[in-house]
Chain A
Amino acid sequence: METKNIMIVGVGGQGSLLASKLLGHLLLGQGFDVKVSEVHGMSQRGGSVVTFVRYGEHVASPVIDKGQADAIVSFELLEAARWLEYLKPGGRIVANTQRMDPMPVITGAAEYPQGLTEKMQAAGAAVDPLDCLSLAERAGNVKAVNLVLLGRLSHYFDFPESAWQEAIKACVPAKFLEVNQRAFQLGKNA
């Protein structure tokens, strides 16, 4: 099979590392070769962050390049737009509609762009916008946005529910397990 590509994009500190860990665990369990590429350090401090998840029979490059992503999981709307170029034409974007102003917007040097979902759709992306923050709150913890997003992503991937559940159990600390399971279901059924 051809290598499949999922990107996780967001703002440093939003919890994308748990999402990629969980995906890696799931995909390895499904018998795929997997590569997951992260960036640590300076860029984590509230900057734009991206994680690449690739799987298939044999994966060579650890990174996803422009026009290659089958899906983008986005923790923040502006970040989805920033990485749009990496999406395959017609690819899927699962987008948390949360807005986090970057420093140039806070200082007034730039404006936060309006209508990003529509603009991305007009450019040919299949955008699935979701207020993940509210759903995470409903699940019991605002930090469970990552599991809401993964729940939504699971909707578009043909892996058994049991495999997702097993990956959640393996990657989430026991005391947060129930909240995260709820968040996953809320995302999936949204």
Chain B
Amino acid sequence: MKKLILGNAAVARGLYEAGCAVASSYPGTPSTEITEEAAKFPEIYCEWAPNEKVAMETAFGASLAGRRAFCAMKHVGLNVAADPLFTMSYTGVNAGLVIAVADDPAMHSSQNEQDSRHYARAAKLPMLEPSDSAEALRFTKLAYQLSEEFDTPVLLKMCTRVAHSQSVAELADRQEPEARPYTKNPPKYVMAPANALRRHPVVEQRLLDLAAWAETADLNRVEEGSSRSLGIVASSTCYQYVKEACGDRFPVLKLGMVWPLPERKIRDFAAGVDQLVVVEEGDPFLEGCCRGLGLDVRGKELFPLTGELSQNRIAEKLGLPVPASVKLEEELPNRPPVMCAGCPHRGLFYTLHKLGCTVLGDIGCYTLGAMPPLSAMDMTLCMGASISGLHGFNKALGREAQVKTVAVIGDSTFVHSGMTGLANAAYNQSNSTVIVVDNSITGMTGHQQNPTTGFSLRGEPAGKIDLEALCRAMGVNRVRVVDPYDLKACEAAVKEELAAEELSVIISRRPCALLKYVPRKPALKVDPDKCRGCKACMKIGCPAISMERGKARVDATQCVGCGVCGQLCGFGALEAGKEAE
């Protein structure tokens, strides 16, 4: 059956068809839907793990036990999981193990543009790279074959444009793989030095075997062109851009496996064209490999190291025509992402802005607290860095920093890698104020459950971490909960904990306003007789409030009636809306 299917859903379909039994992941754009879609197949046990390292180790355990296993993450998640990754390369697998990693060139929803292909080379693992949904499905199944045939974890590299594009794929039935019972094998699986020393040559030989396989595999193919003046090497979405820009004009070496590379195939291809060009996003990875083969190649001298490519950008650099276009002469205002109307983070960030705090932030919706008019964030680095960063900041500066500096971290991020930072702060007697913004969900990636919500990936009842008890158990004596919709309470909590001369945790708790179970109150109404147009209500940066003819105006389609703006109005002009009859 043919279906128009999202790239990530196609990977999930590939898992199903390949007989995958266990999937453990941590959500991260643009990888999240793979595991969400996989969870729609009852044959696959699926879960959200607290972080990528735990997810990868869980998948490894399932593979060891003899069932095909999977985990998915975004590019930066692979940094977290790099520790198991490098040594899993040594142990190899029992049943097939596939790890999907999704890069985000142009950073649609990420903090950097790192290129995951380096991990394949560094960890000496094969990496497949699909260019559309059909390949995402086919390569996922192929990855399991390779994993078992070559005794290796296999990396499946996605990127935003493959993960989040729908294209047509052919669906097939699930094939249950043959059983691979677990048998004890300490020399293969206990990576103490004596055993690991014997495994390393196995890894090197495996890479040579995979490279030999890559020479004849049809996923690395040459497509002929009408002119041999240029020959293009490309993979992933860049291959699609090249075909769009050039049609069948130039021959293309389309790589479906980007590590290890088919050296002979590349040399032969280069020998048949006047000039070799590599079209790739990110780093000059394939280009560098071509240079390593002694080939004369052009790549990053034409195409940028940053951002995404497109058909026009490629056409322009290759001297092909680019379509004409028109634009308005005037500069248009930007429309950056903002905290939603009714977002519980807003009241807290308003308070931090008002108090002039230095805010060490973290990764999540609340990173938007950095945007004007709240402008209440000084640093965002990576998952969990708010708490450890604050500890270091305060140790460096002492009292002058302690009285005005806070860490802000979400519930999911706290469990991901904030807990260890808090353990460090408690153990090393930090006088720090940590604010956990607990909106009872993993928000930014589109509402995934996590260990603090009490529900599993499939929405079934699950274990639930008691954040207050956890913080106390780590040795934090001052733990308090505040409602971020209550600006007075919020301000009092932040002031008192900053003044306290020991480590404190403030849990700013209210569920995300977009959660279906959260009741929506009627929109606020502006009393035009009371409104003086002072714009005090606009200091919280709510997208539902604007000015119209000198008076505040509330957009009833957006307002959820949280009432935070009303607390800022000195004239009582913002009134609670009436419940519908």
Residues of A that sit less than 8 Å from B by CB: 11-13, 24-25, 28, 33-48, 59-63, 65-68, 78-79, 81-82, 84-89, 100-113, 116, 119-120, 123-125, 142
Quote the shortest CB–CB distance from B353 to chain A (angstroms): 13
**CB–CB A63/B161 < 8 A:** yes
Q: Report Cα–Cα, A103/B540, bound state, in Å.
A: 11
Would you call B326 an interface residue if the criterion is a C-beta within 8 Å of the partner chain's C-beta atoms? yes
Q: Report Cα–Cα, A120/B327, bound state, in Å.
A: 8
Quote the shortest CB–CB distance from A143 to chain B (angstroms): 8
**CB–CB B109/A12 < 8 A:** no
Chain A residue nearest in CB terms to B338: A46
What are the residues of chain B within 8 A of A62 when measuring CB–CB?
132, 161-162, 165, 167, 237, 240
Residues of B that sit less than 8 Å from A by CB: 2, 4, 29-30, 32-33, 108-109, 132, 160-162, 164-168, 237, 240-241, 243-244, 310-313, 322-328, 330, 332-340, 365, 368, 371-373, 444-446, 535, 538, 541, 543, 545-546, 555, 557
**CB–CB B241/A89 < 8 A:** no
Quote the shortest CB–CB distance from A156 to chain B (angstroms): 19
**CB–CB A37/B165 < 8 A:** yes
What are the residues of chain B within 8 A of A107 when measuring CB–CB?
372-373, 538, 541
**CB–CB A85/B4 < 8 A:** no
Question: Which of B30, B312, B538 has most A Cβ within 10 Å?
Answer: B312
**CB–CB A81/B444 < 8 A:** no
**CB–CB A65/B310 < 8 A:** yes
Q: Report Cα–Cα, A107/B538, bound state, in Å.
A: 7
Could you pull out 16 A-B pairs where Cβ atoms are within 8 angstroms? Answer: A39-B164, A40-B164, A45-B339, A45-B340, A45-B444, A46-B338, A62-B240, A65-B310, A65-B311, A78-B333, A85-B325, A87-B325, A101-B543, A103-B543, A125-B326, A142-B557
Interface of B is mostly: loop
Q: Report Cα–Cα, A68/B325, bound state, in Å.
A: 8
What are the residues of chain B within 8 A of A41 when measuring CB–CB?
29-30, 108-109, 444-446
Q: Report Cα–Cα, A82/B322, bound state, in Å.
A: 20
Quote the shortest CB–CB distance from B425 to chain A (angstroms): 28
| Residues A120 and B446 in contact in the complex (CB < 8 Å), given A40-B164, A45-B339 | no
Chain A residue nearest in CB terms to B555: A100
Q: Report Cα–Cα, A106/B241, bound state, in Å.
A: 38
| Residues A101 and B323 in contact in the complex (CB < 8 Å), given A39-B164, A62-B161 | no
Q: Report Cα–Cα, A78/B471, bound state, in Å.
A: 47
Chain B residue nearest in CB terms to A101: B546
Q: Report Cα–Cα, A46/B109, bound state, in Å.
A: 14
Quote the shortest CB–CB distance from B129 to chain A (angstroms): 15
Considering the complex of A and B, which 10 residue pairs feature the smallest CB-CB distances, nearest first?
A41-B109, A67-B323, A41-B29, A67-B325, A47-B337, A42-B109, A62-B165, A110-B333, A61-B244, A102-B335
Quote the shortest CB–CB distance from A100 to chain B (angstroms): 8
Question: Which of A47, A62, A85 has most B Cβ within 10 Å?
Answer: A62
Q: Report Cα–Cα, A56/B330, bound state, in Å.
A: 35
Quote the shortest CB–CB distance from B276 to chain A (angstroms): 21
Quote the shortest CB–CB distance from A104 to chain B (angstroms): 5
Q: Report Cα–Cα, A12/B333, bound state, in Å.
A: 16
**CB–CB A106/B545 < 8 A:** yes
**CB–CB A111/B557 < 8 A:** no
What are the residues of chain A within 8 A of B240 when measuring CB–CB?
60-62
Q: A103-B338, A103-B543, A119-B330 are in contact. List 20 more A-B contacts (CB 8 A).
A: A28-B168, A34-B4, A39-B109, A42-B108, A42-B337, A45-B339, A61-B310, A62-B237, A63-B161, A65-B323, A66-B312, A67-B312, A68-B323, A78-B333, A84-B327, A87-B325, A103-B373, A103-B541, A123-B327, A142-B557
What are the residues of chain A within 8 A of B323 when measuring CB–CB?
65-68, 88
Q: Report Cα–Cα, A81/B331, bound state, in Å.
A: 10
| Residues A124 and B371 in contact in the complex (CB < 8 Å), given A34-B166, A41-B30 | no
Quote the shortest CB–CB distance from A47 to chain B (angstroms): 4
Q: Report Cα–Cα, A4/B262, bound state, in Å.
A: 36
**CB–CB A123/B30 < 8 A:** no
**CB–CB B161/A106 < 8 A:** no
Q: Report Cα–Cα, A89/B312, bound state, in Å.
A: 16
| Residues A84 and B132 in contact in the complex (CB < 8 Å), given A62-B167, A62-B237 | no
What are the residues of chain A within 8 A of B365 when measuring CB–CB?
45
What are the residues of chain B within 8 A of A101 when measuring CB–CB?
543, 546
**CB–CB B168/A34 < 8 A:** yes
What are the residues of chain A within 8 A of B310 when measuring CB–CB?
61, 63, 65
Q: Report Cα–Cα, A46/B446, bound state, in Å.
A: 14
Q: Report Cα–Cα, A87/B324, bound state, in Å.
A: 9
Question: Which of A35, A42, A61 has most B Cβ within 10 Å?
Answer: A61
What are the residues of chain B within 8 A of A65 when measuring CB–CB?
310-313, 323
Quote the shortest CB–CB distance from B485 to chain A (angstroms): 19
Q: Report Cα–Cα, A45/B513, bound state, in Å.
A: 13
Q: Report Cα–Cα, A25/B4, bound state, in Å.
A: 8
What are the residues of chain B within 8 A of A85 when measuring CB–CB?
325-327
What are the residues of chain A within 8 A of B332 when measuring CB–CB?
78, 81-82, 113
Chain B residue nearest in CB terms to A124: B326
What are the residues of chain A within 8 A of B546 when measuring CB–CB?
101, 105-106
| Residues A11 and B237 in contact in the complex (CB < 8 Å), given A38-B165, A59-B167 | no
Quote the shortest CB–CB distance from B451 to chain A (angstroms): 22
**CB–CB A36/B311 < 8 A:** no
Quote the shortest CB–CB distance from B103 to chain A (angstroms): 13
Chain A residue nearest in CB terms to B133: A35
Quote the shortest CB–CB distance from B34 to chain A (angstroms): 12
What are the residues of chain A within 8 A of B555 when measuring CB–CB?
100
What are the residues of chain B within 8 A of A24 when measuring CB–CB?
4, 166
Question: Which of B326, B336, B339 has most A Cβ within 10 Å?
Answer: B326
Q: Report Cα–Cα, A85/B546, bound state, in Å.
A: 28
Q: Report Cα–Cα, A102/B465, bound state, in Å.
A: 38
